[in-house]
Structure 1
Amino acid sequence: MTVVISASLLALAACTPTNQGNPMPSGGTTTQTSPPSGGDGVPGPGVPKVKDSLDTTHFKQAPCDSLTADQVEDLLGTSITAKPDLNGQGGPSCSWDVPNVSQAGISVIYNNVDKIGLTGIYAKKDTTFQFFMPMEPVSGHPMVAYGMIDERNTRGRCAIALATSDHDVIDVSIAQSEENIGHKDPCAAAHDVAAKVLGNLKAGK
């Protein structure tokens, strides 16, 4: 079985047939921290500010609208089923997994663990989140790749927090097939997926 993948997104999947998996890295990236003491404190020191906040109300109610059917097909191939979870522990989410391909997939979570946005992630830099890598912002919206450990070369996984406001983030996670681990950068792929999600949010689908 050949899985069609967009070359620009670094081939998230390939033809390694085993069990499906969850694209969320095992680093537990949806767990952030408590709000800073002494008031709002958002954004915190060194945390990039979001100039234009986005309304994500619709997408929290329909998280699978984060990516269009054409985008999912371009990323992961055909016959992909979207799996929404409106009551997930980290917040409303949608995941897309590749049938018969080990672990390859995408997950989008509208993080509701707290309301301090990227501040909660930056506060855990070098402690809880040993892996911390700011990414190129898209249309004024900062992003950071983060996790308890760096799983890029060991498990082919990466999660990016996309700031939709100073208080809100979306976690965009990808998992590569075993065939691509160590050969392609999953954080670059996750950044491209996050940019697609952002474009759909701005379009207000």
Structure 2
Amino acid sequence: MRLRGLALVVAVLASASACSDPAPQNNPSETASATSTPLADVPAISQPLNTTSFQQAPCSILPMVQAANLVSAVRTKAASGGTGEARCTYNDQESNGVSVGVVKRANWLQSTYAAGQSGKLAYFTPLPDVAGYPGAVSNNVDQRANGVCSVGVALSDHEFLSVISTFGGSSPFRSDPCPVLQKVAEASVKNMRGGA
């Protein structure tokens, strides 16, 4: 049941940031082009990562031993996300989960900053340095009190790492899911930089 919930969350988040979505409130890139407010210091991506191998094998982004240490994961499952990108889901015994994957999206970071700074997102916290790469904690809908958080890290001008949680009532992370998700994102980027 929780896996179906995670799939729904991934689909909603993917469609919310899809470039073809015409609804401004669901598309940070549309918001970016519609606003005339200058962006406050969007961090640069100094060394773009080659993510080809991680797109083909998403569960190599975060080795199981690290997922076990971070979120008590006991199993993984690779699948396609809502927009076709490959994702890996790590679940604990109670099916609480974290999903990671590389998403192809041009100018994701700039679009997210624009939407966040103009108040178009339900929550937005810049992350200037996630293992050397800029990102943000953000989403169109705020379900953090229900264990759902979304962290993105820009890996290049055309791709970002997406990390999403679905922590249920049995999870110790349910009431505050974002801090552990940031740790998952940082561990994932470190692995990707090292060619895990």
Question: What corresponds to 1:29 in structure 2?
Answer: 13
Listed as ranges, the matches of 1:1-205 within 5 Å are 19-20=2-3, 21-22=5-6, 25=9, 28-30=12-14, 31-32=16-17, 33=27, 34=29, 46-77=41-72, 79-80=74-75, 82-86=76-80, 88-89=82-83, 91-99=85-93, 101=94, 104-112=96-104, 114-125=105-116, 126=118, 128-135=120-127, 137-153=129-145, 155-180=146-171, 184-205=175-196
Partner Cα distance (1:63, 1:138) in 2: 19
Report if aligned partners of 1:116, 1:167 keep a CA contact under 8 Å in 2. yes
What is the Cα deviation at residue 195 of structure 1?
A: 0.6
Q: What letter is aligned with 1:160?
A: V
Partner Cα distance (2:157, 2:99) in 1: 22
Partner Cα distance (1:188, 1:70) in 2: 19
Q: 1:24 to 1:187 in 2, by over 3 A?
A: farther
Q: With structure 1 as the length reference, what TM-score do the two structures score?
A: 0.72
What is the Cα deviation at residue 182 of structure 1?
A: 8.0
Q: 1:122 to 1:78 in 2, by over 3 A?
A: closer
Q: Relative contact order (alpha carbons < 8 A, sep ≥ 6): 1 or 2 greater?
A: 1
Counterpart secondary structure, 1:48: coil
Report if aligned partners of 1:25, 1:158 keep a CA contact under 8 Å in 2. no
Q: What letter is aligned with 1:149?
A: V
What are structure 1's unaligned runs of at least 5 residues?
Answer: 1-17, 38-43
Q: Deviations over 1:14-63 (max 9, x none)?
A: xxxx85541774793333245877xxxxxx76321111111111001101
Partner Cα distance (1:169, 1:130) in 2: 20
* Identity between Structure 1 and Structure 2 (%): 27
Partner Cα distance (1:165, 1:173) in 2: 19
What are structure 2's unaligned runs of at least 5 residues?
Answer: 18-26, 34-38
